[in-house]
Structure 1
Amino acid sequence: MASTTTSKFIRVSSDVEIELSLTVPTGGTNENTPSLIFLHIWGGSSKSFGSVIEILSPFYPTIGVSLRGWGASTGPEEPTAYKITDFASDVEFIIKELNLKSVVLVGHSMGGKVSMAIAGRHLLPAGVLKGLALVGPAPPGPVHLPDPNMKDAQVHAFDNMENAEGVIRTVLSAPGNLTDEVIKAVAEDMVRGNKWAKYAWPAYGMEDDITNLFEHVDVPVVVLAGDQDILEPVERMKTDIRDKINNMPGGRASLVVVEGSGHLIPVEKPKEVADAIKQFLQML
């Protein structure tokens, strides 16, 4: 089995145009097959889940999104226009514009926080959102860095290739998982982001508190955690995401620990991510 891929741009507003990479299984799908919408990490693009999409696209329609300011997507020349809810509104617009009737959001890190916000907002037509696959998701509550100098370092993390590659090697991935070629490709995405998209996450996105939305997530959830992830460790994924969802009325969340992976789980361990998503989809 195979799939066909197309690129598309959707204009959300005068200064926001979103780049999409869409795949459709060549054998077609039935009407109950959900479209998988992939929302990337801070510093990513529609290509961030490329290896995962390659595995899943023969079986499911997929949509890789470049969030505003990332990849080839445009965004406002305004420092405060890259909030979690801004990203969420763009994705909701895309889902309605494409007239999708059944979707599963696959969100990595910042994209996971965006996915939780969409699920909690309940602005999509009833029944459209079937579930969330959260890959090393940023927690819904605010994350305050212990040292103010760390924030400044993050703001400049993607200023150039040297900085970006250093972050990938020392913070984001487990040793030995990524080739120099892959690291370069990931870094190029990071450096390509526009000024305010790069600035937003460390400046205020991490501190965006969407707990009030998270508490209204009412679809099935699978959480993927890298066992060597130092940014979103397994224990936090258990307590702050899985357990909190399961303690909510009707909450349904499971956890999959991805062995040998750091924070860049979709890049480091794409087969394991694809397998976990497949298994999750079969249970919906």
Structure 2
Amino acid sequence: MKVDAASALGNLPPSLRSELLEEFNKITRNYREGRWEASELNGGRFCEIVYSIIAGHLDGDNYPDKAKKPSRFKDACERLSNAPTTYSESARLTIPRVLVPLYDVRNRRGVGHVGGEVDANHMDATFVLHTTQWLMAELVRIFHKTDIATAGEVVKNLTDRTVPAIWKVGEVARILDPSMTLADGTLLLLYSELGPQSERVLAKNLEQNTIGNYRRVLDRLHKARLIEYERSTGTVHISPLGEKEVEERLLPQGAFS
């Protein structure tokens, strides 16, 4: 179900609403693409935007023009509980308390996890994803400008599980949609990584044992200008047209249009 953001969050200023949706979409997109560290980093900025919204709401709907980072994030969130009890407990207590651990994932856990620890990036990114979904659902409940039934459907869509498009197991990346064509799978794998990939790595991830046959797929994508394929080196780059194809056709769309 597609719902216009102006209705779903209609009582928010357009500037803050735009910032909120942009960061939320980054988090969900990075999670689908398996970009765990990027997903966590965006979670910190998301917290600052939600804090600015809630602080403005509790100050008589006196919102800043742009989201701002408070000097002591935890202390600032705790002070929101001093707002008049005429405001909802969700705005005064629950949302601020949820923001603190979400913010700490970036500032205290450290997205790199350098050292001897087991790599927790995927686990942390999953926490970031579902916590931001819950926060978005609460904001829709508080700030929606639509009927209750429609707002409820938006909340339901936001809290549905988001399944990554790519599953990484060690050095191998797998496309989770078994119906996806080789050409589309190639574009998605290229899109999910920074920089070029080798034809043999792509063939391995797509379970193509005959490199000659797979090269014909790469040739077709090259002719369509969706990729740049250098046969002499076996190097494959995704083009701006290829990125656009992935974003508009292959990646699942969010709850907001």
TM beyond 0.5: no
TM-score by length of 2: 0.31
Higher helix share: 2
Identify which of structures 1 and 2 has the higher relative contact order when contacts are C-alpha pairs closer than 8 Å and 6+ apart.
2
The structure where strand makes up a greater share of residues is: 1
**Higher Cα radius of gyration:** 2
